[in-house]
Structure 1
Amino acid sequence: MVGFMAPWAIGFTVFFGYPLLANVYLSLTRYDLLSSATFVGLDNWAFLLRDSALLTGVQNSAWMLLIGVPIKLAFAFSVAVLVSRAKRAGGLFRTVFYLPHLMPLVAAALGFVVLLNPAAGPVNTLLGHVGVDGPLWFNDPAWAKPSLLLLDTWMVGNLMVIFLAAVLDVPQQLYEAAELDGAGRLRKLWHVTLPSVRPVLVFAAVTSAIDALQYFTQAYVVATSLAGGATSGAESLGYPDDSTMFFPVLLYKQGFRYFNMGYASALALLLFVVSFAIAFLMLRRSARWMSDLTGER
C-alpha cells in the first residue's frame, strides 16, 4: 500500500509541500532574487497591513469574485439550457459557443483591445452608426473591469459544456412528472433542472471563484498593451488608475517589477489562505444555498 502511495506522496512533496514551506520562509525574509535572503521576521506582514495598494487589489479581486463569477455562471448556464433545447443544429451551437474558450488568453485580450478601441474599434463604430456614443472601455476606470468581464463571458464555453452535459443528463421522467403536476418551463427549470445539476453548479462556482481570485493574464495584457507595452515599467500595471490592479497583478508587480520577493511571498501566502477559506466555505454552505434556492427543506 505504501508503494502505491509513493508516486502521489513524492508529487505532493515536490510540487506542493516544499514550495509552500519555501514560500512561508521567504515571506519572513528580504529577498530580491539576486542576493541571499535576509531574515526580517514579520516585517513583510506588518507592511502588508499598511500597504494602501493592497486594499485596491482586494477590492478589484472582490469585484471579479462577487460580480463577475455570478454573471459568467448565469450566462453559461442559460446558454447550456438553450442549446439543450435546440432541435436542429445543436452541434453547431455547441461548437460556436465553445470555440472562444480555445483562444489563447493573450490573443483574446489583444483582440478585445482592438475591438473595444474607443477611437477606431468596430464596436464603437457600429454604436456610432446607430447614434450611441460608445464608452472608452479599457481606457476608462469605470469601464475597465466590465470590459474584462465581457471578455471572460465571451470565453465561458468550458462552463457551458459542463452545464450542458449536466442538463442533458437529467432524467426525462422527472420532467414528465412535473408536467403532470402542471409545471411550466420555468417551474421545471427551478424545481427539476437546478436541483438535479446541483453538484455541477457547486463545482463550477468553486472553480470559478478560485479563477477569479487568481485573475492575472487578461488584466496584465490589457494594461501593458494600452499603457505602452511590457517595457513601460511597473506603473503600466493596473492601467487605468489601478482599476485593473487585481491581487495577483499586485503580487507580480511586487515580486518581478520591484523585486520585493519576500513581500510577494507574503502576498502569495495570503492569497492561498483566502482561496482555501472561500472554497471551504462555499463547499460547506452549498447544500443550504441550493435548498434555499429551490425551496427544499
Structure 2
Amino acid sequence: MKKKMEQSDQPLSAGGMINPKKKKSKVSGSSINGWLFASPWIIGLLLFYAFPLFSSIYFSFTTYSILSPGEFIGLDNYKQLMSDGLFWKSIYNTIYFAVFFVPLSIIIGVALAMMLNMRVKGMAVYRTIFFLPTLVPHVALAVLWMWLLNPGFGLVNGVLDAIGITGPNWLGSVTWSKPSLILMSLWAIGQPVIIYLAGLGDIPQELYEAADVDGASWLQKTFKVTIPLLTPVIFFNLVMGAIGAFQQFTLPYTMTQGQGTPDNSMTFYVMYLYDNAFKYFQMGYASAMAWILFIVIMLLTAVIFISSKRWVHYQGK
C-alpha cells in the first residue's frame, strides 16, 4: 500500500508512466533557486576577489597608476625590483621577523596552553587575562607599547633601571627595533593559545594514565604524548603564523608613521608595497611586489605541507 502511494506522487504521463520531462523540470527549478540564493556571494567573489586578482596580474606588467592607465612594459617592473635596495631591505626585515616570531610564538603558545590546561581554581579567569590582549586593536597596541618602551620614562626601562640594568633605546635603535616588534607581537598570541588548549583537550586521558603506570616522568609525557598528539594543531598555527608574519603591517606602520625608521629597519615588505601603491601611486610596481609575495607565501606553505608528513601525527594513525 505504501509503495503504491509513493508511486502515485510521481508525475504521470497519459499512459500511466512517470513523465521524465516533469521530473527534469522540477530538478532544474530547484537548481535555479539554489543558484539564485548563492548569486550574491558569487557576484561578490567575482567582483571583489577574482576581477582584482586577475587585473593585478596585468597591471604588474604595466606602468599603471590611479591617475593614468599606463603602458605595457613587460617584465620591467620585476627587473626594477631586483635592483631596488629598499625592496631587498624590506625582504630582510620581513624574513628576520618571521624566522624569530613564528618559532617563538609556537614555543611560548604551547607552554602557555599547557599551563592554562592545569586544573587550578580560577583557571577561567587566568585564561581570560591571557586572551584579553588579542582583543586590543593593533593601533592601540602600538601606542601602548611605544609608551612602555620609551627610553626616557617607559615602564620597561624603569624596571630594568631598578635592578641595575641600563635599558636600550628600543624603538630608536636599529639593533633593538625588530626584537621590540617581536616582543609586542608575542604579547598578543592569545588566539593561538586558545587553539592549543582545544588540541590539549582532545588528547585522551587514558594515554597519560598508561604513561603513569609505566612510570613516565612529566618531561617524558610532554615529549612522548602531548607534543606528538598536538602536532596537527601546531601545524595549523605554523601555516597561519608564517602567512601572518609575511604580511606584517599595522604595528610597524603605526609606530613609525609609515617611515620605517630608524634607518628603514622597520620597513616591512607589505609596508613598502603599500607606499608604492597608495603613496607614490605606482600601482604596476606594487602589483609586481604583490605577486612576488604571493608566490613566496605559496612556496613556503607548500614546503610546510610537504614536510608535515614527517612530523605531524594524527590520532589513530
- Paired letter, 1:105: H
CA 1:2 to 1:59, structure 2 compared with 1: closer, same or farther past 3 Å?
farther
- Paired letter, 2:181: L
Q: CA shift at 1:287, angstroms?
A: 2.4
Counterparts of 2:231 and 2:103 in 1: how far apart (Å)? 15
Match of 1:76 among 92, 109, 115: 109
Match of 1:244 among 254, 266, 279: 266
CA 1:203 to 1:2, structure 2 compared with 1: closer, same or farther past 3 Å?
farther
- Paired letter, 2:218: R
Conservation of the 8 A alpha-carbon contact between 1:220 and 1:249 = yes
- Paired letter, 2:241: S
Secondary structure of the structure 2 residue equivalent to 1:136: coil
Residue 286 of structure 1 is matched in structure 2 by 308
Residue 220 of structure 1 is matched in structure 2 by 253
Count of residues in Structure 1 that have an aligned counterpart in Structure 2: 282
Q: CA shift at 1:82, angstroms?
A: 0.6
Conservation of the 8 A alpha-carbon contact between 2:232 and 2:312 = no
Residue 31 of structure 1 is matched in structure 2 by 64
Residue 228 of structure 1 is matched in structure 2 by none
Conservation of the 8 A alpha-carbon contact between 1:118 and 1:135 = yes
Match of 1:194 among 216, 222, 227: 227
Residue 168 of structure 1 is matched in structure 2 by 201
More displaced 10-residue stretch of structure 1: 262-271 or 281-290: 281-290
Match of 1:120 among 153, 175, 195: 153
Residue 210 of structure 1 is matched in structure 2 by 243
- Paired letter, 1:283: F
Counterparts of 1:197 and 1:122 in 2: how far apart (Å)? 36
Q: CA shift at 1:17, angstroms?
A: 2.0
Q: CA shift at 1:4, angstroms?
A: 4.9
Q: CA shift at 1:2, angstroms?
A: 8.5
Counterparts of 1:255 and 1:10 in 2: how far apart (Å)? 26
Q: Greater CA radius of gyration, 1 or 2?
A: 2
Q: CA shift at 1:3, angstroms?
A: 6.9
Residue 181 of structure 2 is matched in structure 1 by 148
- Paired letter, 2:126: F
Counterparts of 2:164 and 2:99 in 1: how far apart (Å)? 33
Which string of whole-angstrom CA distances, capped at 9 and with x for unpartnered residues, describes residues 32-63 of structure 1? Answer: 21122322221101101111112111111111
Residue 21 of structure 1 is matched in structure 2 by 54
Over aligned residues, Cα RMSD in angstroms? 1.9
Which string of whole-angstrom CA distances, capped at 9 and with x for unpartnered residues, describes residues 195-242 of structure 1? Answer: 222211111000000000100000101111xxxxxxxxxxx5211111
Counterparts of 1:106 and 1:131 in 2: how far apart (Å)? 32
Counterparts of 1:129 and 1:191 in 2: how far apart (Å)? 42
Identity %: 38
Match of 1:273 among 283, 295, 299: 295
Secondary structure of the structure 2 residue equivalent to 1:111: helix
- Paired letter, 1:245: T
Conservation of the 8 A alpha-carbon contact between 1:237 and 1:253 = no
Q: In the alignment, does 2:87 pair up with 1:87? A: no
- Paired letter, 2:270: P
Conservation of the 8 A alpha-carbon contact between 2:231 and 2:311 = no
Conservation of the 8 A alpha-carbon contact between 2:61 and 2:77 = yes
More displaced 10-residue stretch of structure 1: 144-153 or 282-291: 282-291
Which string of whole-angstrom CA distances, capped at 9 and with x for unpartnered residues, describes residues 231-259 of structure 1? Answer: xxxxx521111111111011112112222
Q: In the alignment, does 2:204 pair up with 1:182? A: no
Which runs of 5 or more residues in structure 1 are unaligned? 225-235, 292-296
Which string of whole-angstrom CA distances, capped at 9 and with x for unpartnered residues, describes residues 61-100 of structure 1? Answer: 1111111111011111100001101421110110010000
- Paired letter, 1:34: L
Residue 23 of structure 2 is matched in structure 1 by none
Residue 107 of structure 1 is matched in structure 2 by 140
Q: Which runs of 4+ in 1 moved over 3 A?
A: 1-12
Q: CA shift at 1:104, angstroms?
A: 0.2
Counterparts of 1:214 and 1:28 in 2: how far apart (Å)? 23
Q: CA shift at 1:169, angstroms?
A: 1.8
Q: CA shift at 1:11, angstroms?
A: 4.4
Q: In the alignment, does 2:286 pair up with 1:264? A: yes
Q: CA shift at 1:16, angstroms?
A: 2.7
Which runs of 5 or more residues in structure 2 are unaligned? 1-30
CA 1:134 to 1:265, structure 2 compared with 1: closer, same or farther past 3 Å?
same
